Structure 1
Amino acid sequence: MGTLETIAAERLAPWLSLFRKKNPDVGLKIKIGNSNELLAQLQHGSIDVAFTFDRGQQDERFLTRRICSEPLVLIAGGDSQARPPASLAALSTVTFVATETGCVYRHLFDTAFAEAQIAAPSIVTEADSIATIIRLVASGTGYGLVPRLAVGPAAARGDVVELPWPGKPPAASLVMMWRRRRVQPPALTLLLQSASQELSPLRPADARLRHAG
């Protein structure tokens, strides 16, 4: 299986421990990569399933199942004395740290501002991972818009603070993807069933899973 580093650390680790206890005969290998690497590995068969954030694009090579919705949060450095933006328009005038174009996290960032119908803000620094973005934000480089699941440890230490989003809070769909095959391997079937049932408690807004197959 393949996944993004943030998802592996904050969402998959507890579930995989439970899965191993229930299925001790199933061997697991986890590969960490960016979103493009995961899709390539999935296509080539080096992984059987990928856990990532939805780009909103249909890919007929794969089946996709939505697991849950993950909030995106606006963060600033803990020592920056940053004030919550007064409006969505004000957000477009401040500087941000984001991942580079082509990364799924950059897609989530760009989509959040597009859906808010405001101009995208200036990207002062492009980083290679969410962890790096959080460290740069903590140092005062700029604001960040990242999945809340990645912010917990830094927020607990006071390195960053979460600021209210001046509008409808953006969110991202956590999904799992696997190749279309006439017959799925039994171990993969077990993994998919377990993830659907146990990976994350579903809130009402997340209850309508998009089942494939």
Structure 2
Amino acid sequence: MSIYHKVRAVERIFYQLEKEVGSFQKSTGLGCMPNCGKCCSKPNINATALEFLPLAYHLFKKGEAEIWLEKLNTDTSTTLCPVLNVIMAPDAKGFCSDYEHRGLICRLFGFSAMLHKNDKPVLVTCRPIKEGMPHAVTKAEAILGTKKNYPLISNYYMQLRSIDESLGEELFPIRIAIAKAISTVLGYYAYRRPPKKSA
């Protein structure tokens, strides 16, 4: 499968997830707290390279992939996500500088569940949401108890692995995951005709 088709396959998973998360949020009232961004500023976020393939492809088409890779490989002063804006820009919805191409972990956290003992689904969300929206959290937990209509983290990571097991299996610190995604795109197009650059 070509890089382009892998990117499109990942984007189809993201599209399905957006619909499922949107439905879950609508039925529970869950949502991010205004101007928060605390989950993005955690230094120990792990991700797969595959979930950042759309970002890497986007950067490649913009002619910025090599610059990003160089920075990721040389800047060891931080472990934070390189897409994070430390200060929220005016009129921005959040702290992500490329929200459209954020990874799977970014899309799942706060509004999904993982299975614990006896396959019991447990809500994966943050303290600000738990403290700021206790009624919504209670409603979400009640929905999880029915085992219907909620995004399950393991399901989405399984779908990712079915696209490319080598890129979708292993979790890395987020900066390394993004660097690996960029390296994959650059390596693929090293001896192939590149896609048209985007503005």
| TM-score of the aligned structures, taking structure 1 as reference length | 0.26
Relative to its length, the structure with more strand (as a share) is 1
